[in-house]
Structure 1
């Protein structure tokens, strides 16, 4: 009989060893009790009753349904599953998986991704092409006779661990319990489709563990290989390397496409930036032109208003001037000849009794306001605009005639 058929729990079992009784004592004891073989679990015996009282079939407890187990109802072994049946989320489940896996097979094992399968996809596939990796999904099953050998001799081999760590994101799940199996099949159907889910569903227990090698390919996820537990380290490495070769070829294409796309995007960004700067320059130029035009319009409006105001004042002064006296007028008449800055002459007769202000108003009515121009005499040279405007022409000696000239004030 081999160990798998002996009823020992897997992967480890604790036994108690006692002194062997004499044949006579053995016969007496056989009449009093049904068995003298005891299997002790890692927990105190007081915490447990016989397996049948839990409603657990011996085949479930020991990972097999051998006749030896059915003949020994007193045998009980506590099995701690890698993934608890009631795990609230995949991250917590993977934490226990890693801890329990380490306690069974040691610390030299692949680095299992802690998180949901969706998160593992993001880590492996949805990054830049140069940073992408293959996704390895390890599916564990405690009831398979291949599991212990596969885990201890292949999955935990240093060469396999190193190769997986460098080139793969490794995600794991335990299908021993039906609830966890159904949970994974749901995830599998969602991410890989019904064909892959059906492939996993139809795998027999003794074909486990399974290793699914997944490659992210553009908008889909492709299963490159399904590795069953009945393999060797060399074959496992060969299939991993073959998958890596396919992945590398695809990755190089993706890197090339990504580089070309980034180059196109860079050119487009540069063109867009140049176009944006051109638009900004055009807008700034247009706004400057609009400001200049607005300023010109404002100044023109001011000029027009000033001209209109000056014209209104000129007309008002012109209309307010007293009539020009005739030469033969009975009153004394003063004749003034005024030279403008342009060289033209203004001539007019005034009564000698007219005030000097009337002369100023006359000059202003011709477009030379006295606040902008000064009226000068030649002999003697004097500024007439500085004289008292209320004095008469006779009083300021602008009689009987005088030649004056206009000069702009500084």
Structure 2
């Protein structure tokens, strides 16, 4: 009841009122199995696979694992893969024709004799009707439009008629089966199903339905089957040119071509079929062994080449990294050299500018007054390295001239300030870039004779 409610709610929410209850249940089951949350995507996948949930799940998982999708191969016409090169009639091909056993006993002979005219007339009339009909209208089987659909339709009808006890049918077209057998280096057994033949149903029930035959085929080969009344089955029938039904063909890769190594025609029994298949496979196993060895050698060569390419790329990468580091180191050296050149250039420019400034400031310093001038101030400057220099100024002159005098002296540091001894204080001698000049000597509280100290700011 809960599932039914969930189905109704989901159908109403998604507008899928056209879905039947069975399809909606398959939709929910497919979503649970694959874990796909998008319900529209689940619906699209199931519609692509004709609502066959088993095949849809198989194909979905194949796509996730990188296995080719048997329903969409982007090659050839109508999304069909190109068939590999075929050898349909090799010189050593083995053909087994199994005749119907003669009637046993008087009752079987009487049955055979009585119904033989009716069977003959029926088959003759049927062939005549078909021939006449094809004269009027071209055979529709000649146009293959949906090879995978033909195969899946045959499998569905086969299981509906005869049940699910049979070898695992390949879920794809004949071309896809050939390509998979070639890629996987496996035998491919092709079964062409003729609805109208009198031995078909008995072969399907007693031979293909035999458990030993099922186990043998499933473990040793791929098994592809189709109805010859469908376009895909008719196409393969024309290619293989069977003579009667049931018809089996065993195909394997030989000399890089898919080769039909054996044909089995007629109502063969399960034990005899296994014996013939086993004998044919043993006779042709050498070709698969050679193909596997060739493929392994090719894979080894490709792997070795990839490893060599990887080693070369690694070596190239190491050389490039070494070259890059070398270039970085050289760039650092060049940058350091350039930095030193720039600093030296800047230093020389500063020295040049300082010398020009000193020449300019020298000319701005007033002439030294005489010793007997009543306003004279005698200043003795003690330099950082111990020497002393002396200069006279007028008490009303600004202290900036004291700064100019010290700055222009060759023994004085370029960055300095002038301090008194006691009480210790820094004199505001350096003129500001803007604003009034520094105070005069008398305003700074300096007497007639003063001993001042020059302190190096960079010391």
Q: Note the 1:199-348 alignment, pairs <5 A.
A: 200-201=240-241, 203=242, 205-206=243-244, 209-215=247-253, 220-223=256-259, 225-230=261-266, 232-233=272-273, 234-244=275-285, 246-259=287-300, 261-266=302-307, 268-269=309-310, 272-273=313-314, 275-276=316-317, 279=320, 283=324, 308=349, 312=353, 315-316=356-357, 318-321=359-362, 322-323=364-365, 325=367, 331=373, 332=376, 334=378, 336-340=380-384, 343=385, 345=387, 347=389
Q: SS of 1:382's equivalent? A: coil
Worse-superposed segment, 285-294 or 358-367: 285-294
CA shift, 1:319, in A, is 0.6
CA shift, 1:364, in A, is 4.0
CA shift, 1:283, in A, is 4.5
CA shift, 1:93, in A, is 0.8
Q: SS of 2:378's equivalent? A: strand
Instruction: Find the aligned partners of 1:357 and 1:123 in 2 and give their Cα distance.
Output: 102
Task: Tell me which residue corresponds to 1:355.
Answer: 398
Point out the structure with the larger helix share: 2
CA shift, 1:163, in A, is 2.9
Give per-residue Cα distances to partners, 1:323-347, cap 9 Å, x unaligned. 474686775463544424xx38574
Task: Tell me which residue corresponds to 1:92.
Answer: 149
Instruction: Find the aligned partners of 1:346 and 1:125 in 2 and give their Cα distance.
Output: 107
TM-score scaled by length of structure 2: 0.53
Q: Could you tell me whether the CA contact under 8 Å between 1:352 and 1:399 is conserved in 2?
A: no
Task: Tell me which residue corresponds to 2:454.
Answer: 405
TM-score scaled by length of structure 1: 0.58
Task: Tell me which residue corresponds to 2:127.
Answer: 60
Q: Is structure 2 residue 165 aligned with structure 1 residue 113?
A: no
Change (3 A) 1:214 1:320: same
Give per-residue Cα distances to partners, 1:152-184, cap 9 Å, x unaligned. 55444433322322232222233357x556633
Gaps of 5+ in 2: 1-108, 132-139, 431-437
Instruction: Find the aligned partners of 2:390 and 2:174 in 1 and give their Cα distance.
Output: 110
Q: Could you tell me whether the CA contact under 8 Å between 1:94 and 1:112 is conserved in 2?
A: no
Change (3 A) 1:277 1:350: farther
Q: Note the 1:106-145 alignment, pairs <5 A.
A: 106-126=163-183, 133-142=186-195
CA shift, 1:211, in A, is 0.9
Give per-residue Cα distances to partners, 1:10-64, cap 9 Å, x unaligned. xxxxxxxxxxxxxxxxxxxxxxxxxxxxxxxxxxxxxxxxx9xxxx96243999x
Instruction: Find the aligned partners of 2:208 and 2:428 in 1 and give their Cα distance.
Output: 117
Change (3 A) 1:384 1:323: same
CA shift, 1:92, in A, is 1.3
Q: Could you tell me whether the CA contact under 8 Å between 2:192 and 2:233 is conserved in 1?
A: no
CA shift, 1:289, in A, is 7.2
Q: Could you tell me whether the CA contact under 8 Å between 1:318 and 1:361 is conserved in 2?
A: no
Higher relative contact order (CA 8 A, sep 6+): 2
Instruction: Find the aligned partners of 1:360 and 1:302 in 2 and give their Cα distance.
Output: 28
Q: Could you tell me whether the CA contact under 8 Å between 1:213 and 1:224 is conserved in 2?
A: yes
- Please tell me the root mean square deviation across aligned C-alpha atoms, in Å: 4.9
Give per-residue Cα distances to partners, 1:104-158, cap 9 Å, x unaligned. 55433221112223433454444xxxx6533333333456666556545544443
Change (3 A) 1:276 1:155: farther
Gaps of 5+ in 1: 10-50, 66-82, 187-196
Larger Rg belongs to: 1
Instruction: Find the aligned partners of 1:5 and 1:365 in 2 and give their Cα distance.
Output: 142
Instruction: Find the aligned partners of 2:409 and 2:119 in 1 and give their Cα distance.
Output: 131
Q: Could you tell me whether the CA contact under 8 Å between 1:333 and 1:400 is conserved in 2?
A: yes
Instruction: Find the aligned partners of 2:327 and 2:153 in 1 and give their Cα distance.
Output: 69
